[in-house]
Chain A
């Protein structure tokens, strides 16, 4: 596979990261915000793998492996937080969670 230059992969990764960031900023449903964070992590993985391919160096693959493992742990804990917030507030709207704000 030699046809695709690095810049295309980086552009795709940037677009994906931007989509994820816009999701985090605009959506107020905590679950959708979490899905957007997963998208951002995937964009970073894509960029890591693109650099690994460009340089013929597999260390990026190991990093992507760890990112996936960390993302799984993050999803487990984050969703548990959403569950317990829902239990107290009866809502997953992030605008209702403001105990630390004032």
Chain B
């Protein structure tokens, strides 16, 4: 049962993320952004399988809800017609890049599947476990990770200022 759900979600994730980059769908950036939303929803399902409830909610709330909306905003702001982009030219360097990435991934996957330690099932959790819920992760976030938490606010401040400076025409 679990494996069936895993395969459905995994195939859905890979298929929709391939659709983001492969020309028939990815040719139009709006279609690319929408298949990105689909990929994020499938990933949220996978996070639930990994008992990461808070992160699954964040995935839907921030990635699918905010970041992709920003992408769609920019696509509509720029309103690029597909003829403006020119035709994709398959050059030799792109081919080499794809072959290199494929080779490295296959070697990595080979090592992962060969390793005995990684084939073991994960540690068992009691059925009423609070693993990955808002309270337990939040407790870590606001006690052990105070400094990164405050640094995030500075990062967001810098992001706001930078984005306003670059996006606003007249200042």
Given contacts A35-B20, A42-B63, A52-B50, contact A29 B167 (CB under 8 A): no
B-contacting residues, A35-79, CB 8 Å: 35-36, 38-39, 42, 45-46, 49-50, 52-56, 58-59, 61-62, 64-66, 68-77, 79
A78-B169 Cα distance, complex, nearest whole Å: 16
Closest beta carbon of chain A to B101's beta carbon, Å = 5
Q: Within A19-33, which residues are at the interface with B (CB < 8 Å)?
A: 19-23, 25-29, 31-32
How many angstroms from the CA of A32 to the CA of B62 in the assembled complex? 19
B92 within 8 A of A: no
Interface size for B (C-beta < 8 A) is 84
Residue with the highest number of chain B CB atoms closer than 10 Å, among A22, A70, A84: A22
Q: How far is the CA of A79 from the CA of B169 in the complex (A)?
A: 15
**Within B42-73, which residues are at the interface with A (CB < 8 Å)?**
43, 46-47, 49-52, 54-55, 58-59, 62-63, 66-67, 70-71
Assembled-state Cα–Cα distance A88/B140 (Å):
45
* B61, chain A: closest CB distance, angstroms: 9
Whole-angstrom distance between the alpha carbons of A82 and B82 in the complex?
17
Asked whether A76 and B159 contact (CB < 8 A) given A1-B2, A23-B21, A66-B148, the answer is yes
Q: Take A35-B20, A68-B63 as given contacts and tell me if A79 and B70 are in contact as well, using a CB distance cutoff of 8 Å.
A: yes
Could you tell me if B49 and A77 are in contact, using CB atoms closer than 8 angstroms?
A: no
Q: Does B75 contact A (CB under 8 A)?
A: yes
The interface residues of chain B lying within 8 Å CB-to-CB of A97 are none
The answer to whether B98 has its CB under 8 Å from any CB of chain A is yes
Any chain A CB within 8 A of the CB of B128? no
| Contact A31 B36, CB 8 Å, known A7-B119, A10-B118, A52-B50 | no
Is the Cβ of A75 less than 8 Å from the Cβ of B71?
A: yes
When each residue 69-99 of chain A gets 1 if its CB lies under 8 Å from chain B and 0 otherwise, what string results? 1111111110111111011000111000000
Give the interface of B toward A (CB within 8 A).
1-3, 6, 10, 13-14, 17-18, 20-21, 26, 29, 32-33, 36, 39-40, 43, 46-47, 49-52, 54-55, 58-59, 62-63, 66-67, 70-71, 74-75, 77-78, 80, 84-86, 88, 94, 97-98, 101-102, 104-105, 108-109, 112-113, 115, 118-125, 131-132, 136-137, 140-141, 144-145, 148, 152, 155-156, 158-160, 162-163, 166-167, 169
Other A-B contacts than A22-B102, A53-B51, A55-B123, 13 sampled, CB-CB below 8 A, are: A1-B49, A8-B6, A18-B101, A19-B21, A23-B26, A34-B71, A38-B63, A49-B47, A61-B52, A64-B58, A75-B71, A76-B159, A77-B166
